[in-house]
Amino acid sequence: MTQSLFHPGELRAQALAGFDAVSGNIYSAMPTQHREFFAQLPYLFVATLDEHHWPVATVFSGFAGFLRTPDDTHLRIVSPRRLEDPAQAELQVGRPVGALGLDFSNRRRNRVNGIISRMDKNRVEIEVHQSFGNCPQYIQRREFFPVPISLSPINILSGLDQQARNTIQQADTCFVASYAQGGADISHRGGKTGFIYLDGETLWIPDFRGNRYMNTLGNLLLQPRAALLFIDFDRGDILHLQGETQILWQPVSKGIGAAERYWRFDITRAWRFQQAFAWHGRNVEFSPTTLRTENGHEDYSIPKKLKNN
Protein backbone atom coordinates (compact mmCIF):
# COMPACT_ATOMS: atom_id res chain seq x y z
CA MET A 1 0.00 0.00 0.00
CA THR A 2 1.39 3.40 -1.01
CA GLN A 3 1.80 5.83 1.89
CA SER A 4 -0.23 9.03 1.51
CA LEU A 5 1.51 12.35 1.03
CA PHE A 6 -0.96 13.80 3.51
CA HIS A 7 -1.68 13.18 7.18
CA PRO A 8 -5.21 12.26 8.44
CA GLY A 9 -6.19 15.87 9.17
CA GLU A 10 -5.30 16.97 5.64
CA LEU A 11 -7.18 14.02 4.15
CA ARG A 12 -10.21 14.84 6.28
CA ALA A 13 -10.08 18.52 5.25
CA GLN A 14 -9.83 17.54 1.58
CA ALA A 15 -12.90 15.34 1.98
CA LEU A 16 -14.89 18.05 3.78
CA ALA A 17 -13.97 20.47 0.99
CA GLY A 18 -15.23 17.98 -1.62
CA PHE A 19 -11.83 17.27 -3.19
CA ASP A 20 -11.17 13.86 -4.72
CA ALA A 21 -7.78 12.17 -5.12
CA VAL A 22 -5.58 15.17 -4.39
CA SER A 23 -2.03 14.72 -5.66
CA GLY A 24 1.00 16.94 -5.45
CA ASN A 25 4.72 17.34 -5.76
CA ILE A 26 5.91 17.02 -2.16
CA TYR A 27 9.56 16.00 -1.98
CA SER A 28 11.68 14.55 0.81
CA ALA A 29 14.57 16.81 -0.25
CA MET A 30 14.90 20.20 -1.90
CA PRO A 31 15.04 20.20 -5.71
CA THR A 32 17.83 22.26 -7.24
CA GLN A 33 15.47 25.06 -8.22
CA HIS A 34 14.26 25.35 -4.60
CA ARG A 35 17.83 25.55 -3.32
CA GLU A 36 18.63 28.28 -5.83
CA PHE A 37 15.43 30.09 -4.89
CA PHE A 38 16.22 30.18 -1.15
CA ALA A 39 19.77 31.42 -1.82
CA GLN A 40 18.38 34.57 -3.45
CA LEU A 41 15.93 35.56 -0.70
CA PRO A 42 16.48 38.40 1.82
CA TYR A 43 13.95 37.06 4.37
CA LEU A 44 12.44 33.78 5.54
CA PHE A 45 9.24 33.16 7.52
CA VAL A 46 9.61 30.48 10.19
CA ALA A 47 7.27 28.62 12.55
CA THR A 48 7.93 26.32 15.49
CA LEU A 49 6.27 25.35 18.78
CA ASP A 50 6.73 26.91 22.19
CA GLU A 51 7.13 24.86 25.35
CA HIS A 52 3.33 24.68 25.74
CA HIS A 53 2.91 23.32 22.19
CA TRP A 54 1.48 26.57 20.84
CA PRO A 55 2.59 27.52 17.32
CA VAL A 56 4.74 30.65 17.10
CA ALA A 57 5.92 32.51 14.01
CA THR A 58 8.81 34.81 13.21
CA VAL A 59 10.80 36.21 10.30
CA PHE A 60 14.54 36.25 9.68
CA SER A 61 16.06 38.74 7.26
CA GLY A 62 19.40 39.61 5.73
CA PHE A 63 20.86 40.09 2.30
CA ALA A 64 20.78 37.48 -0.44
CA GLY A 65 23.03 34.62 0.62
CA PHE A 66 22.07 34.55 4.28
CA LEU A 67 20.11 31.38 3.47
CA ARG A 68 22.31 28.47 2.42
CA THR A 69 21.77 24.84 1.45
CA PRO A 70 24.92 22.80 2.12
CA ASP A 71 23.05 19.84 0.63
CA ASP A 72 19.53 19.04 -0.50
CA THR A 73 18.25 18.09 2.97
CA HIS A 74 19.55 21.06 4.99
CA LEU A 75 18.52 24.71 4.90
CA ARG A 76 20.79 26.97 6.94
CA ILE A 77 19.79 30.41 8.26
CA VAL A 78 22.90 32.51 8.93
CA SER A 79 21.57 35.35 11.04
CA PRO A 80 21.73 36.43 14.69
CA ARG A 81 18.63 35.49 16.66
CA ARG A 82 16.66 38.09 18.54
CA LEU A 83 16.13 36.30 21.83
CA GLU A 84 13.57 38.79 23.12
CA ASP A 85 11.39 37.52 20.27
CA PRO A 86 9.37 34.73 21.97
CA ALA A 87 9.25 32.77 18.71
CA GLN A 88 12.98 32.90 18.01
CA ALA A 89 13.70 32.02 21.64
CA GLU A 90 11.80 28.75 21.14
CA LEU A 91 14.05 27.56 18.31
CA GLN A 92 15.91 24.59 19.76
CA VAL A 93 17.60 21.50 18.36
CA GLY A 94 15.02 18.77 17.83
CA ARG A 95 12.03 21.11 17.67
CA PRO A 96 9.71 20.85 14.65
CA VAL A 97 10.00 23.77 12.27
CA GLY A 98 8.35 25.02 9.11
CA ALA A 99 9.78 27.67 6.79
CA LEU A 100 8.29 29.66 3.93
CA GLY A 101 10.33 31.42 1.30
CA LEU A 102 8.39 34.01 -0.68
CA ASP A 103 9.65 36.33 -3.39
CA PHE A 104 7.20 39.23 -3.54
CA SER A 105 8.77 40.50 -6.77
CA ASN A 106 7.57 37.52 -8.82
CA ARG A 107 5.07 35.75 -6.48
CA ARG A 108 7.15 32.59 -6.18
CA ARG A 109 7.00 30.64 -2.92
CA ASN A 110 8.46 27.41 -1.63
CA ARG A 111 8.10 25.72 1.73
CA VAL A 112 10.12 23.29 3.80
CA ASN A 113 9.10 21.38 6.93
CA GLY A 114 11.39 19.42 9.22
CA ILE A 115 13.27 19.72 12.49
CA ILE A 116 16.04 21.94 13.80
CA SER A 117 19.17 19.82 13.49
CA ARG A 118 21.86 22.29 14.52
CA MET A 119 22.17 25.82 15.84
CA ASP A 120 24.46 28.31 17.51
CA LYS A 121 24.40 32.05 18.18
CA ASN A 122 24.29 33.06 14.52
CA ARG A 123 22.94 29.98 12.79
CA VAL A 124 19.82 27.81 12.64
CA GLU A 125 19.92 24.72 10.45
CA ILE A 126 16.79 22.88 9.34
CA GLU A 127 16.85 19.20 8.48
CA VAL A 128 14.34 19.10 5.64
CA HIS A 129 11.71 16.35 5.67
CA GLN A 130 9.32 17.93 3.14
CA SER A 131 9.93 20.44 0.37
CA PHE A 132 7.24 21.75 -1.95
CA GLY A 133 6.13 24.75 -3.93
CA ASN A 134 2.87 26.69 -3.80
CA CYS A 135 0.94 28.55 -6.48
CA PRO A 136 1.33 32.35 -6.84
CA GLN A 137 -2.34 33.13 -6.20
CA TYR A 138 -3.24 35.94 -3.78
CA ILE A 139 0.38 37.13 -3.43
CA GLN A 140 0.68 40.89 -3.90
CA ARG A 141 3.81 42.08 -5.66
CA ARG A 142 5.90 44.60 -3.76
CA GLU A 143 9.15 46.38 -4.43
CA PHE A 144 11.31 46.07 -1.30
CA PHE A 145 14.14 48.31 -0.14
CA PRO A 146 16.36 47.90 2.95
CA VAL A 147 15.92 50.10 6.03
CA PRO A 148 17.62 50.20 9.44
CA ILE A 149 15.77 48.15 12.02
CA SER A 150 14.94 49.14 15.57
CA LEU A 151 15.97 47.09 18.59
CA SER A 152 13.13 48.51 20.65
CA PRO A 153 11.77 46.14 23.31
CA ILE A 154 8.85 43.82 22.70
CA ASN A 155 5.40 45.28 23.30
CA ILE A 156 3.23 42.64 25.02
CA LEU A 157 -0.42 43.43 24.36
CA SER A 158 -3.16 42.65 26.88
CA GLY A 159 -5.62 43.15 24.03
CA LEU A 160 -5.59 44.64 20.57
CA ASP A 161 -4.78 48.35 20.71
CA GLN A 162 -5.72 50.71 17.89
CA GLN A 163 -2.38 50.27 16.15
CA ALA A 164 -2.81 46.49 16.12
CA ARG A 165 -6.36 46.83 14.83
CA ASN A 166 -5.19 49.12 12.04
CA THR A 167 -2.48 46.62 11.07
CA ILE A 168 -5.02 43.80 10.76
CA GLN A 169 -7.71 45.83 9.02
CA GLN A 170 -5.29 47.31 6.48
CA ALA A 171 -3.50 44.04 5.74
CA ASP A 172 -3.49 42.36 2.34
CA THR A 173 -1.06 39.68 3.52
CA CYS A 174 -0.51 37.57 6.63
CA PHE A 175 1.19 34.33 7.63
CA VAL A 176 -0.32 31.46 9.63
CA ALA A 177 1.62 28.96 11.73
CA SER A 178 0.04 25.63 12.63
CA TYR A 179 1.04 22.11 13.59
CA ALA A 180 -0.18 18.52 13.72
CA GLN A 181 1.20 14.99 13.59
CA GLY A 182 4.42 16.24 15.20
CA GLY A 183 5.21 18.79 12.49
CA ALA A 184 5.14 22.60 12.28
CA ASP A 185 4.08 24.56 9.21
CA ILE A 186 3.80 28.17 8.07
CA SER A 187 1.79 29.37 5.07
CA HIS A 188 0.74 32.59 3.36
CA ARG A 189 -2.70 34.16 3.20
CA GLY A 190 -3.56 37.10 0.97
CA GLY A 191 -6.48 39.12 -0.33
CA LYS A 192 -7.66 42.62 -0.98
CA THR A 193 -6.88 45.23 1.67
CA GLY A 194 -9.11 44.43 4.66
CA PHE A 195 -9.76 40.84 3.56
CA ILE A 196 -9.66 39.76 7.21
CA TYR A 197 -12.74 40.75 9.18
CA LEU A 198 -12.03 41.88 12.75
CA ASP A 199 -14.80 41.57 15.33
CA GLY A 200 -13.57 42.47 18.80
CA GLU A 201 -10.78 40.00 19.58
CA THR A 202 -11.87 37.57 16.84
CA LEU A 203 -10.55 37.45 13.28
CA TRP A 204 -12.56 35.89 10.44
CA ILE A 205 -10.26 34.70 7.67
CA PRO A 206 -11.58 33.74 4.21
CA ASP A 207 -10.25 30.58 2.65
CA PHE A 208 -9.89 30.87 -1.12
CA ARG A 209 -9.28 28.13 -3.67
CA GLY A 210 -5.64 27.05 -3.61
CA ASN A 211 -3.56 23.96 -4.31
CA ARG A 212 -6.11 21.70 -2.53
CA TYR A 213 -3.44 20.25 -0.21
CA MET A 214 -5.32 21.74 2.80
CA ASN A 215 -2.13 21.78 4.86
CA THR A 216 -3.21 24.55 7.21
CA LEU A 217 -6.87 23.58 7.64
CA GLY A 218 -5.86 19.94 7.96
CA ASN A 219 -3.58 20.88 10.82
CA LEU A 220 -6.29 23.00 12.44
CA LEU A 221 -8.73 20.10 12.32
CA LEU A 222 -6.37 18.05 14.47
CA GLN A 223 -5.02 20.90 16.58
CA PRO A 224 -6.95 24.20 16.61
CA ARG A 225 -4.11 26.29 18.04
CA ALA A 226 -2.45 28.66 15.59
CA ALA A 227 -0.38 31.82 15.28
CA LEU A 228 -0.73 34.73 12.87
CA LEU A 229 2.07 37.05 11.77
CA PHE A 230 1.32 40.46 10.28
CA ILE A 231 3.92 42.84 8.86
CA ASP A 232 3.28 46.54 8.32
CA PHE A 233 5.31 46.92 5.13
CA ASP A 234 5.26 50.73 5.41
CA ARG A 235 6.58 50.95 8.98
CA GLY A 236 8.29 47.59 9.41
CA ASP A 237 6.25 46.70 12.51
CA ILE A 238 5.69 42.99 13.22
CA LEU A 239 2.49 41.89 14.98
CA HIS A 240 2.21 38.34 16.34
CA LEU A 241 -1.02 36.73 17.52
CA GLN A 242 -1.74 33.35 19.10
CA GLY A 243 -5.23 31.96 19.24
CA GLU A 244 -7.73 29.13 19.01
CA THR A 245 -9.41 28.43 15.66
CA GLN A 246 -12.65 27.03 14.34
CA ILE A 247 -13.33 26.17 10.69
CA LEU A 248 -16.71 27.02 9.16
CA TRP A 249 -17.15 24.64 6.25
CA GLN A 250 -20.52 25.94 5.08
CA PRO A 251 -20.58 28.73 2.47
CA VAL A 252 -20.84 32.31 3.77
CA SER A 253 -23.30 34.22 1.60
CA LYS A 254 -22.32 37.67 2.88
CA GLY A 255 -18.58 37.17 2.86
CA ILE A 256 -15.95 38.01 0.27
CA GLY A 257 -16.64 36.74 -3.22
CA ALA A 258 -14.59 33.62 -4.04
CA ALA A 259 -14.21 32.59 -0.39
CA GLU A 260 -15.07 28.90 -0.20
CA ARG A 261 -15.21 28.88 3.58
CA TYR A 262 -14.07 30.88 6.60
CA TRP A 263 -12.16 30.12 9.75
CA ARG A 264 -12.27 32.11 12.94
CA PHE A 265 -9.32 32.97 15.14
CA ASP A 266 -9.93 33.93 18.78
CA ILE A 267 -6.93 35.79 20.19
CA THR A 268 -5.34 34.50 23.39
CA ARG A 269 -1.96 36.28 23.28
CA ALA A 270 -0.38 39.09 21.27
CA TRP A 271 2.89 40.99 20.96
CA ARG A 272 4.46 43.52 18.63
CA PHE A 273 7.93 44.69 17.62
CA GLN A 274 8.21 48.23 16.28
CA GLN A 275 10.24 48.80 13.10
CA ALA A 276 11.74 45.30 13.26
CA PHE A 277 11.42 44.16 9.63
CA ALA A 278 14.48 45.22 7.64
CA TRP A 279 12.64 45.60 4.32
CA HIS A 280 9.92 48.12 3.52
CA GLY A 281 7.56 47.63 0.60
CA ARG A 282 6.19 50.01 -2.03
CA ASN A 283 4.45 49.98 -5.42
CA VAL A 284 1.96 47.29 -4.46
CA GLU A 285 0.46 45.33 -7.36
CA PHE A 286 -2.47 43.08 -6.45
CA SER A 287 -2.50 39.70 -8.12
CA PRO A 288 -5.20 39.08 -10.74
CA THR A 289 -6.60 36.31 -8.55
CA THR A 290 -6.84 38.67 -5.58
CA LEU A 291 -8.72 41.24 -7.66
CA ARG A 292 -11.27 38.62 -8.66
CA THR A 293 -12.31 38.18 -5.02
CA GLU A 294 -14.36 41.39 -5.19
CA ASN A 295 -18.08 40.72 -4.79
CA GLY A 296 -19.46 44.21 -5.31
CA HIS A 297 -19.63 45.21 -1.64
CA GLU A 298 -17.28 47.79 -0.16
CA ASP A 299 -17.70 46.16 3.25
CA TYR A 300 -18.72 42.69 4.23
CA SER A 301 -19.94 41.10 7.42
CA ILE A 302 -20.15 37.66 8.92
CA PRO A 303 -23.74 36.53 9.53
CA LYS A 304 -24.67 36.59 13.24
CA LYS A 305 -25.55 32.90 13.26
CA LEU A 306 -21.95 32.13 12.31
CA LYS A 307 -20.52 34.65 14.80
CA ASN A 308 -22.33 32.85 17.56
CA ASN A 309 -21.51 29.36 16.29
Domain locations in the chain as residue ranges: 8-307
Region for 308 from its dihedrals, namely left if φ exceeds 0, alpha if ψ lies in -120 to 50, beta otherwise = alpha
CATH C-level class of 8-307: mainly beta
**What's the pLDDT at 74?**
98
Compute the mean pLDDT over every residue in the chain, rounded to the nearest whole number.
90
Could you tell me if 239 and 223 are in contact, meaning their C-beta atoms sit under 8 angstroms apart?
A: no
What value does the mean pLDDT take over residues 217-246? 97
Q: Which residue has the higher pLDDT, 29 or 19?
A: 29
Band of residue 292 on the pLDDT scale cut at 50, 70, 90? confident
Of 183, 240, 266, whose CA–CA distance to 58 is shortest?
A: 240
196 phi and psi angles, rounded to 5 deg: -95, 130
Instruction: Output DSSP code: residue 291.
Output: H
CA distance 245 to 184: 16
Of 83, 85, 78, whose CA–CA distance to 123 is shortest?
A: 78
Instruction: Output DSSP code: residue 299.
Output: S
Is a pLDDT exceeding 80 seen at residue 250? no
Is a pLDDT exceeding 50 seen at residue 80? yes
Burial 53-74 (b: 16+ CB within 10 A, else e): ebbbbbbbbbeeebbebeebbb
Is a pLDDT exceeding 60 seen at residue 303? no
Residues 6+ apart with CB under 8 A from 191: 138, 172, 206, 208, 256, 290, 293
Work out the percent of the chain whose per-residue pLDDT is above 70: 92
What value does the mean pLDDT take over residues 135-155? 91
Is a pLDDT exceeding 60 seen at residue 240? yes
Residues 6+ apart with CB under 8 A from 193: 170, 171, 172
Helix 215-222, helix 8-16: angle, nearest 10:
110
